[in-house]
Amino acid sequence: MKKLAVVAFGGNALIIAGQRGTVEEQERNAYEASKNLLNLLNRDYDVVLTHGNGPQVGNILLADQAGQKLFGLPSMPLDVCVAYSQGSIGYMLEQQLRNVLEANDMDRDIMTIITQVLVNKDDPAFKKPVKPIGPYYTKEEADKIMAESDSVFAEDPKGNGWRKVVASPKPLVISNKKSIEHLARNGQIVIAVGGGGIPAFYVEPNKMQGIDAVIDKDLASALLAKQINADRLFILTDVPKVCLNFNTPQEKTIDRMNIAEAKKYLEEGQFTEGSMAPKIRAAIDFVENTGKDAIITKTTLLGVDDGGTRIVFI
């Protein structure tokens, strides 16, 4: 029986730091990112692909705000902007992955599922926004925007500038999870939970609606991996391995750690919120609840022996 992997691409896999984020740039990046999936497909994995949307949904919000200001267009709430990003990113990934498969004489259906994710409207995260979206700004630019609006900005831990931050509630239930698992285990490549999923809640019994937030795609990917009984979770980022004392002279890479060690490092503040900390929490959640491994690594090391940091139960 084939193994099932959930592979979580970051939004920055499609818009690399320093790029404008044109469609041509994103398509090239999607093609390069898709090539790395061949390692798993050739190792007899079925694959569900998830992705971030931080840069893209921020740009969609900026375009929406410009449309309101210049043309009086109606405002689109954040959950609808997330849905926009799921469709556009899913389209680019689906197209470029198909190009990669055809170039390697592989034939699989690829489909994007617009995915809602249930959250709690009373989640404390709504009172403390931490999820970065959109482009980077200087401190002066960020201060100006905050003074003129209700936006909240935070400094990027890697020193790239300041970004808008929004609420990021905990994902609770993935919509259409049975169909996602069925399609994937029958050999199709499924793109789901884009941008962490479209956040929704029940206003009253049997009445769901969206809510202004962006769900962390790593936590949503871990939840999806649990709910579809995946054999492995891959969380892809822009560094080859998890580090202790990151970006200091004492920096040290980690090849392997168990969940007790991972929890200890989290408590010590080794991992930055809005960056590595959610990835570690997602890995812990998956491993602790399934007993299976999670791997955090760079996109180019996906499926490579000894590539990345492996998080194990014991």
Which residues are catalytically annotated? Answer: 11-12, 131, 217, 279
Nearest alpha carbon to residue 275 among 48, 13, 10: 10
CB contact at 8 A, 49 and 299: no
Distance CA 157, CA 278 (A): 14
Distance CA 137, CA 11 (A): 18
| Token representation of residue 39 | 């390692």
User: How distant, in Å, are the alpha carbons of 4, 80, 214, 292 from that of 285?
Assistant: 18, 28, 19, 11
Could you report how far apart the first and last alpha carbons of the chain are, in Å? Answer: 25
| Token representation of residue 143 | 């201060």
